[in-house]
């Protein structure tokens, strides 16, 4: 079984809707130990399987190359051991391979030492890199090779990359060659994706059994290029027993979440959605959220906006029902929302006293799932304890600036600790938190975290968040559980954005272009 991730999408995964765990370095070590000590799979077999899985990916890259020479750059740990396995298999295939080793040979231990000894016995070309003179020769040699394999450090890195290792990585990055990283690009921290001073810039990364957090989060994901996740023979029972609280949202998960449609149904079968949005100058937010909810399948939509915006919405939103906010306030908000299946509030609402009154009333009295976005979050930041009055599941969808206002932390702190901050907020306030950004993070009150890998920089445009709110709302109206609706919406939102980027380019995308792609994305996933 293998998984390939490219441009934010899972290209190939096994059938089924299983959740894919994402591990920290220490969790992966625990999984290896479990396989070795409990399930009695020798470590050298796992190393052999890991090396073979990388060989399979390298062979795909070699097909189009006239020059088949490979340089395998190894450290003296187990990552280097994987590299020794790779070298042996290619030598057996008649491919010209040179193995470069950074570090003292006497530090090669255990399974890595067994594989190193085999290379020596078969008289494989091995070059030691110890000082600046070696680096000069190494730089010249790289020009003779077609592909470079990074088997230097793996996930065991705990400190800043310095000295000879740093020089080697610099030369690799400057070579202009295709680089395939083993497990994780050397220099990337597997626990958080941060670069430890310098890191290999790989074209592709082959990681083993399960992805590590550093494979998924930025900047590690950027340094890793295309990601392939390879099964190396660790028993499924061992993998399932890890029970990591960090997961990757996959297409299979989304396919299992999207509600099926049956012939004997009507619009009432697919729910009623109520969106409170818009203010003078911000009618677009209401339109984008409303159109998206309909595109995602809601049966009946009502959108409440200030009376002055009604003509604009009725011109743009002919399939939905519009209501003036002033009338709601006069007759009583609760009468308008009591028959709905979901309420979304906040996109483009502004920060007026009138809107504050509406927000407080809705939060305290809602009897159906609630989505709070944009100005709803900005007003909430002034009275965060209002969340304690919730009687229903609530989803908040802040970008880093809004999360900064909600938590009192700086935007930099929010971006540096996305997983922990989203998790802590959800646990403290009992809400589902969708933290937008480069790797959208979703956390629930039970401390689980789900990471979405779809999306691209072209989605950093006004209105993109309103589209996401509409997607969540549309799925909730059809009875999808709040957490599942949030995960599916994040994945669909990013995938639609990826399609728009292919069609238009990242520079020219607008929020409406994401909406345009939604039907095709849903149709493709449902067909699979």
Which residues line the annotated binding site for (6S)-NADPHX? 78-82, 154-160, 183, 285, 348, 399, 466
Alpha-carbon distances, residue 358 vs 342, 383, 397 (angstroms)? 16, 14, 19
CB 341 within 8 A of CB 273: yes
The DSSP output letter for 34 is: I
Residue 395 contacts residue 450 (beta carbons within 8 Å): no
CA–chain centroid gap for 166, Å, is 29
Report H helices in 241-350: 251-257, 283-295, 310-316, 325-331, 333-337
**186 and 157 in contact (C-beta within 8 Å)?**
yes
- Which helix (H) or strand (E) is 528 found in, with range? none
Give the Cβ contact number of residue 395 at 10 Å.
26
Decide: 490 and 504 in contact? Cβ < 8 Å.
Answer: no
DSSP state of 260: P
Tokens of 5: 């991730």
Residue 106 phi, psi (nearest 5): -70, -15
Helix, strand, coil percent content, the chain, rounded in steps of 5: 50, 15, 35
Binding residues for AMP: 436-440, 465
Count of CB atoms situated within 10 Å of the CB of 316: 15
Helix and strand numbers (H, E) in the chain are 22, 20
Instruction: Find out whether 317 and 290 touch, Cβ atoms under 8 Å.
Output: yes
Q: Residue 370 is encoded by which pair of tokens? A: 């609630």
Are 210 and 238 within 8 A, CB to CB?
no
353: enclosing H helix or E strand: helix 353-365
CA distances (Å), origin 528, targets 11, 519, 520, 521:
12, 14, 12, 11
Nearest-5° Cα angle at 440, 436 to 445: 90
| Nearest CA among 332, 261, 350, 352 for reference residue 298 | 261
Q: Which residues are annotated as a binding site?
A: 78-82, 150, 154-160, 183, 186, 285, 348, 399, 436-440, 465-466
Annotated binding site for K(+): 79, 150, 186
């Amino acid at each position: 079984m293998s998984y390939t991730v490219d441009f934010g999408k899972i290209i190939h995964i096994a059938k089924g809707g299983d959740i894919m765990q994402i591990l920290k370095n220490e969790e992966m070590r625990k999984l290896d130990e479990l396989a070795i000590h409990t399930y009695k799979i020798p470590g050298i077999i796992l190393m052999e399987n890991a090396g073979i899985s990388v060989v399979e990916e390298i062979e795909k890259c070699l097909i189009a190359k006239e020059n088949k020479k490979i340089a395998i750059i190894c450290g003296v740990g187990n990552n280097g051991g994987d590299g020794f396995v790779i070298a042996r298999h290619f030598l057996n295939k008649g491919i010209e391979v040179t193995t470069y080793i950074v570090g003292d040979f006497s530090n090669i231990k255990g399974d890595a030492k067994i594989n190193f000894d085999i290379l020596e016995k078969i008289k494989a070309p091995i070059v030691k890199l110890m000082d600046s003179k070696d680096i000069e020769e190494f730089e010249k040699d790289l020009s003779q090779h077609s592909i470079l394999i990074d088997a230097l450090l793996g996930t065991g890195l705990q400190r800043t990359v310095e000295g000879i290792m740093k020089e080697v990585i610099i030369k690799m990055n400057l070579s202009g060659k295709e680089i395939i990283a083993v497990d994780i690009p050397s220099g990337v921290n597997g626990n958080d994706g941060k670069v430890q001073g310098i890191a290999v810039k790989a074209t592709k990364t082959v990681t083993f059994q399960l992805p590590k957090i550093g494979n998924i989060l930025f900047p590690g994901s950027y340094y890793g290029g295309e990601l392939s996740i390879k099964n190396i023979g660790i028993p499924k029972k061992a993998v399932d027993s890890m029970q990591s609280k960090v997961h990757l949202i996959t297409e299979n998960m989304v396919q299992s979440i999207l509600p099926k449609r049956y012939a004997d149904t009507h619009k009432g079968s697919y729910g009623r959605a109520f969106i409170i949005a818009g203010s003078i100058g911000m009618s677009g937010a209401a339109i984008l959220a409303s159109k998206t909810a309909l595109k995602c399948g809601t049966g009946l939509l009502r959108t409440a906006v200030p009376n002055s915006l009604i003509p604009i919405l009725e011109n743009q939103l002919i399939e939905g029902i519009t209501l003036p906010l002033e009338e709601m306030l006069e007759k009583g908000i609760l009468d308008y929302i009591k028959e709905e299946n979901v309420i979304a509030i906040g996109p483009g609402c502004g920060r007026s006293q009138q809107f504050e009154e509406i927000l407080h009333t809705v939060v305290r009295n809602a009897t159906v799932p609630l989505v709070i976005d944009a100005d709803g979050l900005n007003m909430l930041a002034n009275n965060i304890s209002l969340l304690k009055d919730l009687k229903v599941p609530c989803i908040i969808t802040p970008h880093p600036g809004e999360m900064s206002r909600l938590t009192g932390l700086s935007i930099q702190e929010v971006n540096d600790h996305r997983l922990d901050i989203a998790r802590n907020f959800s646990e403290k306030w009992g809400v589902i938190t969708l933290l937008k950004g480069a790797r959208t993070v979703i956390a629930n009150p039970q401390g689980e975290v789900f990471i979405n890998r779809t999306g691209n920089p072209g989605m950093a445009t006004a209105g993109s968040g309103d589209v996401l709110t509409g997607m969540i709302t549309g799925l909730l109206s059809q009875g999808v559980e709040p957490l599942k609706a949030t995960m599916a919406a994040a994945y669909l939102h990013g995938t639609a954005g990826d399609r728009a980027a292919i069609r238009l380019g990242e520079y020219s995308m607008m929020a409406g272009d994401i909406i345009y792609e939604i039907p095709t994305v849903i149709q493709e996933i449902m067909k699979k």
